[in-house]
Amino acid sequence: MNRLPDITDLEATALAGLAVQAPATLRPSVLVDIGLADHYARIDSPLGPLVISWNGRGVSSVDQVRDDAEFEVRHLASTGRRAMPGTLPPRLATAITRRLDGDRRVRIALDLRGHSPFEQDVWRKALDIPRGEVRPYGWVAAEIGRPRAVRAVGTALGHNPVPLIVPCHRVIRTDGSIGQYSLGGPSNKRTILAAEGLDPDRMEDAGRRGERLVGCASTKIVCWPTCRTGRHMLERNRRPFRSLAEAGAAGYRPCKICRPVAAAVAA
């Protein structure tokens, strides 16, 4: 080793002086990437501007708030994670726009850590309801194999951290009334349903008349009133029913697409 030169103080100082500080963006990027902190940004919706938060695991919340500070406090309280302003990644922005436009095939990863398996089952089931249609709470309960848990389904939907992306607004009361909504109350729920092509007032009127299901006299199939298969039904073929039993007695079989069977039993 003697042949090799030793480093001089001058060189050592020059090389040690090449140490730099990491850019301020590095730490937030790391923490968000692994899901120990979240980014948030504003998005447009039928309800006006909303705040959406996400991290490397997926979208973690959709909220309606007055200002950023309020959101950051709320986010920390509900998730235990800091939320920092960020720019929505273009791919996620496109996916969200398409989802809000009713495209259910677009995949959006969700970060639902800290929520119970039951809640997650409820939210996943809500994702099955197409834009422009609604189902009662009892249908969700029956579909996830918990027919008696109708009230718990309502509570779980009320706790949906990602409203609009998980369309909990498409789940209504069994009597046809619109019901509660976590993202700013029932009037917002009406606004979104109307934006999706439904008429909340007419739906509630039909509910008050006791119409729970609608049958088609030509096919003898009975559906939930908003099922897409009934959309082209002629008005003269339209037969409202109070219950599945009533429809069955009239010779109608339940639709295989909207599956009014189990829910009607539960309701």
Partner 1 sequence: MDVDDRLTTALADDLDGAFEALVVGHEDRLYTIALRMLGDRGDAEEAAQDAFVRAYRALASYDGERIRELRLRGWLTTIVLNRCRSVAARKATRGPRPLPIDGDAARPIVEPEAPAASAPMEVAERHAERDRWAARLLALPVSYRTAVVLRHVDGLSYPEVAAALGRPEGTVKAQVHRGIALLRTMLEAERQHHFQEMTA
Where on the chain is the footprint of partner 1 (CB under 8 A)?
1, 4-7, 11-23, 25-27, 29-31, 33-34, 36, 56
Pick the closer one to partner 1 by CB: 11 or 199.
11
Q: At closest approach, how far in Å is the CB of 217 from partner 1?
A: 59
Q: At closest approach, how far in Å is the CB of 37 from partner 1?
A: 8
Q: At closest approach, how far in Å is the CB of 66 from partner 1?
A: 29
Pick the closer one to partner 1 by CB: 6 or 67.
6
Q: Which of the residues 168, 227, 255, 258 is marked catalytic?
A: 168
**Which residues make Cβ contacts (< 8 Å) with residue 119, sequence separation at least 6?**
112, 156, 159
* Half-sphere exposure of residue 37: CA atoms within 13 angstroms, side-chain side: 14
Pick the closer one to partner 1 by CB: 19 or 77.
19
Q: At closest approach, how far in Å is the CB of 107 from partner 1?
A: 21
At CB < 8 A and 24+ separation, what contacts does 60-63 make? 60/110, 60/111, 60/112, 60/161, 60/162, 61/161, 61/162, 62/161, 62/162, 62/163, 62/164, 62/165, 62/183, 63/183
168 among known catalytic residues? yes
Pick the closer one to partner 1 by CB: 82 or 98.
82
Work out the burial of residue 163: count CB atoms within 10 Å of its CB; fewer than 13 is exposed, 13-18 middle, 19 or more buried.
buried
Known catalytic residues are 168
